[in-house]
A and B are shown apart, each in its own frame.
Chain A
Amino acid sequence: MTRSVWKGPFIDGYLLKKADVVKASGRHEVIKTWSRRSTIIPQFVGLTFGVYNGHKFIPVLVSENMVGHKFGEFAPTRTFSAHTAADAKAAVAKK
C-alpha cells in the first residue's frame, strides 16, 4: 500500500538538521545514519550518507535518481555468498 500523499515523505528530523549542517559547512563528509527508514529528498542530492546495515556504515552518494527511495534500500543487510564453482565440484565429487 502506498503512503498517503497528504502526510508527505517520512524523514527522521535529526537527519534534516545534520544534512543542513554539512551543507552549510561546505565540506563533503559522510553523514553517518541509522535511519534506514528515511526517504531521500531532493535536498540530499550530492551528499554522502553512511547508511548503517547492522554491521558497518555503507557510503551512499545520493544521486538525483535516488530521490523517493529509502536509505535502507542502498545498504543491504544480508550477505549472500554465492555458490562457488568449488562448491558445485565438491557436490559432484561426493556423489
Chain B
Amino acid sequence: MARIAGVNIPTNKLVNIGLTYIYGIGRKKADEICKKVGIPASRRVSELTDDETLKIRELIDSAYHVEGDLRREVTMNVKRLMDLGCYRGLRHRKGLPSRGQRTHTNARTRKGKRIAIAGKKMAPKG
C-alpha cells in the first residue's frame, strides 16, 4: 500500500499509471515524475522502495498542484467568474456550457440527465 499526496492508494499498477489516480496528475505529469525520481517505466507501485515513495511524495508536494489545493483553486476560479457578473460567470450559474457551444441539443455534460417536459408531444415522424 502506497499513500501519496493524501488519500490515493493505487497498487499493482505500473508507477506512471498508478500516479494518475491522483487528482491533477495525468499521464504526462506522471511520466515526468518517474523520470525525475529515476524510476524505470516497468516498475510497479507495489515494488517501490520506501525511499522511492518518499522521493515521489516530496516531489509532488513541492512541485505540483494536486488534490485539495487544485480543487480549491478551480472552484475559486469559477467563483471569481460568478461574482464578477461576466458572461462566463452567468453560464456557470445557470449550469450551462460557457464557451459558446450549442445548447439547443447536446450539452448534456453540463445540463445533466434529460428531464421530460410534461405535455410535450413528440414530433410526428416522416
Contact = CB atoms under 8 A, between A and B. Distances in A.
Contacts of B35: none
A47 interface: no
Interface in B85-125: 85-88, 90, 117-120
B59 interface: no
Interface residues of B, number: 12
A69 interface: yes
A63 B84 CA distance: 9
Contacts, number: 29
Interface residues of A, number: 14
B43 interface: no
A95 interface: yes
Interface of B: 80, 83-88, 90, 117-120
Contacts of A88: 118
A72 B90 CA distance: 13
A94 interface: yes
Contacts of B80: 65
A12 interface: no
B84 to A, nearest CB: 6
Interface in A65-95: 65-66, 69, 72-74, 76, 88, 91-95
Contact of A74 (B83, B85, B117): B85
Given A88-B118, A91-B118, A93-B119, 14 more contacts: A63-B84, A65-B83, A65-B84, A69-B86, A73-B86, A73-B87, A74-B85, A74-B86, A74-B87, A91-B119, A91-B120, A92-B118, A92-B119, A95-B118
Contacts of B84: 63, 65-66, 69, 74
B7 to A, nearest CB: 33
- 3 A-B pairs with least C-beta separation: A95-B119, A73-B86, A91-B119
Contact of B90 (A66, A76, A91, A93): A76
Nearest to A87: B117
A63 B88 CA distance: 17
